């Protein structure tokens, strides 16, 4: 608690001593009443304490205390008014010299090193605009590169898948050849496209069903089947159309 009281007193004292009016008031009062202040610190052995007190009392008896404070306050306000006016004028002169006179002198003596502030601001705006466009270009280039990498990846996957499919399709062609149905395969594919009723359970149809190239679309009362191609089957037909001449020649 004592510490809080001490801190409060210290903060209050600091606020009072740093107040421009109170500080100026004390200085003005000391200057105005310098005789009294001087007598307080005059330590001549012949000048007794009682004489000093009598002098201070007679001084204040001849000067109104309230009037003295009032006059000191007026002087304080006058001093503050003059001080701040001088500070304002000083700041005006400094700014005038820094903002107008110095640039004017530089423009006269060295035109290459000085530009107008308006020109400088315009240049800054242009630079900011160019930097924004450059950043947009960088982001656009980054997006294009990412899309290109993705397309390259998909192309590689497609090529790998196509190569894999070709190998699988070649194996299926070999299986068809093993059951001696190569010469009939073209007609069989035409029948499937035309939805012709075909016999169920033939060796060729079983092979194509097993390899998931065709699937059953319908069955009639005579136990005949209408087949249709799967997506894999349509890819196989394209593959067969591409290689059948070469294969027959071999």
> Residue 83's pLDDT is what?
82
- Start-to-end Cα distance in the chain: 110
What domains can be seen in the chain, in order of their start residue?
2-32+64-109 (no CATH), 178-249 (1.10.10)
Number of Cβ within 10 Å of residue 28's Cβ equals 20
> Residue 201's pLDDT is what?
84
As a whole number, the mean pLDDT across the chain is 78
Judged on CB neighbours under 10 Å (0-12, 13-18, 19+), 136 is: exposed
pTM of the model: 0.38
Question: For the segment 28-87, what is each residue's pLDDT rounded down to a tens digit?
Answer: 777 776 666 666 666 566 666 666 666 667 666 666 666 777 777 887 888 888 888 888
The alpha-helical segments, DSSP class H, found in the chain are: 2-17, 20-32, 34-40, 49-62, 65-96, 102-109, 117-178, 185-193, 203-210, 231-249
Question: For the segment 170-208, what is each residue's pLDDT rounded down to a tens digit?
Answer: 888 888 888 888 888 888 889 888 888 988 888 888 888
The CA distances from residue 8 to 5, 18, 20, 22, in Å, are 5, 15, 20, 19
pLDDT at residue 249 tops 50: no
pLDDT at residue 248 tops 60: no
> Residue 250's pLDDT is what?
44
Question: For the segment 91-140, what is each residue's pLDDT rounded down to a tens digit?
Answer: 888 888 777 777 777 667 765 555 666 777 888 889 999 999 998 888 88
pLDDT at residue 5 tops 80: no
């Amino acid at each position: 608690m004592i510490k809080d009281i001490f801190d409060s007193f210290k903060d209050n004292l600091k606020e009072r001593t740093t107040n421009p009016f109170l500080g100026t008031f004390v200085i003005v009062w000391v200057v105005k009443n310098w005789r009294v202040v001087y007598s307080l610190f005059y330590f001549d052995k012949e000048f007794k304490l009682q004489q000093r007190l009598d002098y201070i009392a007679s001084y204040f008896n001849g000067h109104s205390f309230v009037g003295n404070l009032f006059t000191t306050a007026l002087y304080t306000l006058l001093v503050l008014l003059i001080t701040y006016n001088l500070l304002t004028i000083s700041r005006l002169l400094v700014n005038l010299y820094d903002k107008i006179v110095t640039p004017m002198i530089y423009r006269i003596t060295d035109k290459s090193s000085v530009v107008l502030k308006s020109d400088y601001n315009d240049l800054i705006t242009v630079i900011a605009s160019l930097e924004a466009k450059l950043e947009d270009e960088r982001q656009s280039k980054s997006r294009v590169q990412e899309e290109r990498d993705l397309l390259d990846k998909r192309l590689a996957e497609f090529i790998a898948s196509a190569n894999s499919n070709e190998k699988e399709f070649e194996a299926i062609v070999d299986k068809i050849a093993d059951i001696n149905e190569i010469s009939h395969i073209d007609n069989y594919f035409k029948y499937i496209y035309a939805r012709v009723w075909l016999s169920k359970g033939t060796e060729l149809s079983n092979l194509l069903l097993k390899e998931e190239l065709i699937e059953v679309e319908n069955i009639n009362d005579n136990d005949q089947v209408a087949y249709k191609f799967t997506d894999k089957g349509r890819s196989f037909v394209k593959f067969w159309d591409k290689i059948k001449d070469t294969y027959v020649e071999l």
